[in-house]
Amino acid sequence: MRKYDAVIFDLDGVICSTDEYHYLAWKELADSLALPFDRQYNNKLRGVSRLESLNLILALGERQYSDEEKQAMAQKKNDTYRRLLEKMSPADVSDDVLSTLNELKRKYPLAIGSSSRNTKFILSRIGLADFFDAVIDGNDISASKPDPEVFLKAADALSQRPSSCLVVEDAAAGIEAAVRGGFDSAGIGDASRLESATYHIGRLSDLLDIL
Ligand code: BG6
Ligand code: MG
């Protein structure tokens, strides 16, 4: 008997890598505010929403900003980020990821559960716009990971209970969201070192040993 009936994937850091583009866009903003933002600090922003990321960056300085100022800064960062995302193409999906997705699609309904409001744009850039059975993203939720809302909505969209779905995540916030929502999880990348993840995988095709 199989253990899971569906798989929910995080997008950034699992299906493709957008870390460097997030970094470059935040770096431009941080430099304009003379804040000491670097790649190591950028790692803290993984899985965290845009506004929460901005707050973490602004915490590097003393100055307080109004909500309007913060909205304008987040918009500016996103404009830069979207310009950088234009460079993405199907070549940004590795052979390992693509072959694993194709193999799993033959057996399971598959969903995306991402905090990013740019999810659909990224999926279209990398040639996977119509691939998944459900896509729940930052536009569909009121609370970002580590809140489980995005994964609960993804399970619901697939008509599955959390206990029947495996969540695949690269961020600590995402593994916490999975645990809080009652999902088993497979941690990849940074999240492969987290004890709270049910499985620890080195590359996406390792899922084929679990599923
Ligand atoms: C997550 C990323 O997928 O989306 C975070 O890991 C990012 O780094 C978050 O902050 C929100 O992204 P966006 O595209 O809505 O600014
Ligand atoms: Mg991620």
Predicted confidence band of residue 176 (pLDDT cuts 50, 70, 90): very high
Cα separation, 57 vs 52, in Å, equals 9
Residue 94: CA atoms inside 13 Å, Cβ hemisphere, count? 11
Of 18, 19, 47, 15, give the one whose Cα is nearest residue 141.
47
Ligand 1 binding pocket mutation candidate from 86, 115, 124, 147 (most atoms within 8 A of CB) = 115
What's the mean per-residue pLDDT of the chain? 97
What pLDDT is attached to residue 210? 96
What pLDDT is attached to residue 1? 80
Of 121, 184, 118, 128, give the one whose Cα is nearest residue 151.
184
What pLDDT is attached to residue 144? 92
Ligand 1 neighbour 48 (Cβ under 6 A): yes
Atom of ligand 1 nearest to the CA of 13: 6
The helices-and-strands tally (H runs, E runs) of the chain is 8, 6
Q: Name the residue with the closest Cα to ligand 1, atom 11.
A: 116
What pLDDT is attached to residue 47? 87
Ligand 1 neighbour 114 (Cβ under 6 A): yes
pLDDT digits (tens, 9 = 90+) for 57-115: 999 999 999 999 999 999 999 999 999 999 999 999 999 999 999 999 999 999 999 99
